[in-house]
Amino acid sequence: MYNIPDFDAMLEPFREKMREVSARYQNIVNASIQRLIKQFRDFLAELDKYYSLEDVEKYIFVCEEMRKFGWTVSYKNPYIDELHVLINSYYNGCIERNEYIERVDSTLLKFITDFDLVKINEVVELNPDRKILLSKAIDLYKQKNYDASIPLLLIQLDGLSRDILRLNSRLSVFTKRNYEENIRSAVHRQFNKDLTDKEDIITRMIIANITVFDNFSVSMTASSNDIESLFNECKIHSKFSRHSVLHGIDCSYGNELNAAKSLSFLIYLKEALPILLWIHEYEDES
């Protein structure tokens, strides 16, 4: 077992910042921190047992392609291998674009439909003041009221991303520069020699999750003109965008598929949050 550092001390800055966000909810805040501690331990254990560097690189490859559809995929998604096969089939000319889009969307729609949304409570409760609106958005989704659910989800996901950046200002540093060596150094400092054979895997997995987090805001804010052009050039495979929905440009957004794509980011955060928040240990040595 790894020599895990003192997570209580490591996450103390988050306690302070979460108290600032909502001082009225101390019990919820403390419970959220304890869940993050356990989840990061679980993350390390899973990397050791189940993930090779090849697995991580496959995940990165799949994530990059799925964002062209408006999907956000967590490293625990059970369809990574299936999606990887589909991607290769498309780019090797074995299936047409329409079939590719249909099969990718149906695969991930099934994942969202089967997912137990109760599991995302720790993300919803990250900011208790936001919990009410996120809970309403999820209830509307369950009621198949997609016209109402989608804009509420998109607005609150944007706010939730800002909450995470407020809790961990390091993320905004990482997403604006070449950060691989900095993360590798942070991993090495944190775990010393205990993870020598896993440093590449952990570093690449952390990078993958930061990149997915950053790409969400980029892919969902493109203008409607850009979306149309990129879609016609086959550079993306979905016209769904936050910009078009919230600015009233897209009036036909209200369907189960787009609602599921919005929810996929929330499910991703459920798995990625401990990884994203761990990076506060990074110290800018430049």
User: Tens digit of pLDDT for each residue in 139-195?
Assistant: 999 999 999 999 999 998 888 877 776 665 555 555 545 566 667 776 776 665 555
Q: Is residue 73 a contact partner of residue 263, using CB atoms and an 8 Å limit?
A: no
Structure tokens, 37? 């501690």
| Average pLDDT over the chain, rounded to an integer | 78
Residue 236 makes CB contacts below 8 A (sequence gap 6+) with 68, 69, 219, 227, 230
Confidence (pLDDT) at 19: 55
Q: For residue 286, name the pLDDT band (cuts at 50, 70, 90).
A: very low
Please count the other Cβ atoms lying within 10 Å of the Cβ belonging to residue 181.
9
Helices (H), 120-145: 121-124, 128-142
More confident residue, 266 or 281: 266
For residue 260, pLDDT over 60 is answered with yes
Q: For residue 3, name the pLDDT band (cuts at 50, 70, 90).
A: very low
Closest to 212 measured CA to CA, from 41, 53, 65, 50: 65
CA distance 229 to 272: 32
Residue 69 makes CB contacts below 8 A (sequence gap 6+) with 101, 104, 105, 108, 236, 237, 238, 261
User: Tens digit of pLDDT for each residue in 90-114?
Assistant: 999 999 999 999 999 999 999 999 9
* Strand, helix or coil for residue 179: coil
Closest to 219 measured CA to CA, from 152, 260, 265, 173: 265
